Amino acid sequence: MTRFSQGSAALLLATAALGPAWAQPSQVQISGFLDLGIYRDFQGTAQLGTIQRSSISFSGAEDLGGGLQATFRLSHRLELDTGLGEGYGQKPFWHGESTVGLKGGWGQVRLGRALSALWAHDWKFDPWGHMNRVSSSAWYQWFYYVPTDRASNNGAPEFGRTPNGIFYDAPNLAGFTLHLSGSPERTQGPGGGKPYAASLEYAQGAAAAMLAFDRNGSGDRASFAAVKYRFGATTLMSSYDDSRRAQDQGRSRVLALGATHKLDGSVTLKAGLGHQRLNSNTHMFYSLGADYAVSRRTTLYAGLGQQRPENKSPSSSFGVGMSHAF
């Protein structure tokens, strides 16, 4: 036996002996959301591609004892029609999230890259969950002047995720939950400041509400308020967003209304209206849609959206698609 093989054998024996002491019970989960459809975009181009978002995630937790857990989450976003990563290489591979953290009775702290305290929860007040390029007014109008980072994707803006971040989610107290996010690092580009965000949610029975504020490292600011109420099979929602680019370089104010109605256990109808005051111009967004739940995880859907900018001809988008969650 060579010296190398003797050393390798010793290492294997030592690892085997220490393994039971190191190995702790853990939970690892693979999950994802796959979406693909055929649609005509607002420029009139027919496409086959992702109408909503597609992703695959790896998450887990290890019991550390005393009610404490170590957590991690890795989430990759992709274009299902081509298999390429979202943004075609411009965005990082773990674009969705890449965090490690600790969780206990006091809440959860995560470190890494993730949605800011605003973006992680605003989707609950849009009928399309802020992720439908055909029908969601939120996709096109919300936080118009406030990317979470102006240059984090190889020089391109990032709408939603804070890199080099610290994220805190407080435990629920009488229906209220506080979320905080920020970074100790200054962002690149104009301003060069440190981003931070906070949101306060309320959810109890049929009612839900949210107040949030987000400031990126460049000094752009967004304020958001939303309410939602369920009347039997019908849910009504409304939100208001005021986003301002630093140095008074632009302002967008959006009032959005939305509704969903379940016809039975399988069909959900959706409707939305977005009124945007973009600087001195008014932009309207109208939308309709329907989901058909084939199973608990698979959904067929159709959507229609129309943009009506001030002093311009309206343009429409429509599409049909299929999504599968696992």
User: Structural domain boundaries of the chain?
Assistant: 26-325
Topology at the third CATH level for domain 26-325:
Porin (2.40.160)
From the list 129, 151, 155, the residue with the least C-alpha distance to 142 is 129
Q: Give pLDDT, residue 24.
A: 53
Q: Give pLDDT, residue 22.
A: 46
Q: Model-level pTM?
A: 0.89
| SS3 (DSSP) at 123 | helix
Please give the chain's pLDDT, 326 residues, in tens: 434 344 444 433 443 444 444 445 578 999 999 999 999 999 999 999 999 999 999 999 999 999 999 999 999 999 999 999 887 768 899 999 999 999 999 999 999 999 999 999 999 999 999 999 999 999 999 999 999 999 888 888 999 999 999 999 999 999 999 999 999 999 877 777 999 999 999 999 999 999 999 999 999 999 999 999 999 999 999 999 999 999 999 999 999 999 999 998 899 999 999 999 999 999 999 999 999 999 999 999 999 999 999 989 999 999 999 999 99
Distance CA 147, CA 131 (A): 16
- Cα first-last separation, the chain: 49
Q: Are 194 and 184 in contact (CB under 8 A)?
A: yes
Q: Which helix (H) or strand (E) holds 20?
A: helix 3-22
Torsion over CA of 132, 134, 135 and 140, rounded to 10 degrees? 80
Residues 199-233: b if buried by 16+ CB within 10 A, e if exposed? bbbeeeeeebbbebbbbbbbbbbbbbebebeeeee
